[in-house]
Amino acid sequence: MDNAKLIVISGPSGVGKSTLLKQLFTSYPEKFGFSVSYTSRNPRNNEVDGVDYHFVTSDVFTGMISQNLFVEWALVHGNYYGTAKDEVSKVIDNGKYCVLDIDVQGAMLVKESGVSARYIFIAPESIDVLFRRLSSRGTETSESIQKRLKNAEKELTYKEKYDYIIINDTLDVAYKKLVSCIF
């Protein structure tokens, strides 16, 4: 596995990471592959198992932890999330850059393991803008929004540990910056 081909992306929930990444994968399908994470959270209405995440029970997830199947895993907003070693190998063995969309805890674990990767943090213009985004997305309860905002404040304190920080105020500008961080 060639770790130089890992791209780690973090940023608060609702900041627009998925939109930016979808644009990247659509523009360069031959260059990038996405490591589909495992999670114990329930799927949202528009999410597809095996595409957005591998949705599993907490028992299955903790079983995978015991079998040492993850590159990293973390508890985020009360649910398990993890990157499976198999998923990363599948992408890299295909000769593509492997993109991990993971939280700051997971990103720091990857970094501490000494793996060579490019670390990119996507930040919101402000917490207020993030609140409006999460509310208008309509996928979260108000309790979940509050949890995500609280976590966002914590996550933002890690941004200086990344190689690049991109503020997603305007999608087109942020996308261009993302591409320039990679190529």
Write out the residues near ligand 5GP by the rule CB under 6 A.
13, 37, 41, 72, 74, 76, 81-83, 101-103, 105-106
Q: What distance in Å separates the CA atoms of residue 32 and residue 40, rounded to the nearest whole number?
A: 26
Q: Which residue has its beta carbon closest to ligand 5GP?
A: 106
Question: Least separation, in Å, of the C-beta of 116 and ligand 5GP?
Answer: 19
Whose Cβ is closer to ligand 5GP: residue 30's or residue 143's? 143
Question: Least separation, in Å, of the C-beta of 65 and ligand 5GP?
Answer: 12
Whose Cβ is closer to ligand 5GP: residue 83's or residue 168's? 83
Whose Cβ is closer to ligand 5GP: residue 103's or residue 145's? 103
Question: Least separation, in Å, of the C-beta of 48 and ligand 5GP?
Answer: 13
Whose Cβ is closer to ligand 5GP: residue 13's or residue 168's? 13
CB 12 within 8 A of CB 51: no
Q: How many CB atoms lie within 10 A of CB 33?
A: 21
Question: Least separation, in Å, of the C-beta of 106 and ligand 5GP?
Answer: 2
Q: How many CB atoms lie within 10 A of CB 67?
A: 8
DSSP state of 161: G
Question: Least separation, in Å, of the C-beta of 152 and ligand 5GP?
Answer: 9
Q: Which helix (H) or strand (E) element contains residue 12?
A: none
3-state SS assignment for residue 120: strand
Q: What distance in Å separates the CA atoms of residue 80 and residue 62, rounded to the nearest whole number?
A: 9
Whose Cβ is closer to ligand 5GP: residue 74's or residue 177's? 74
Q: Distances from the Cα of 113 to the Cαs of 110, 116, 119, in angstroms?
A: 5, 9, 14
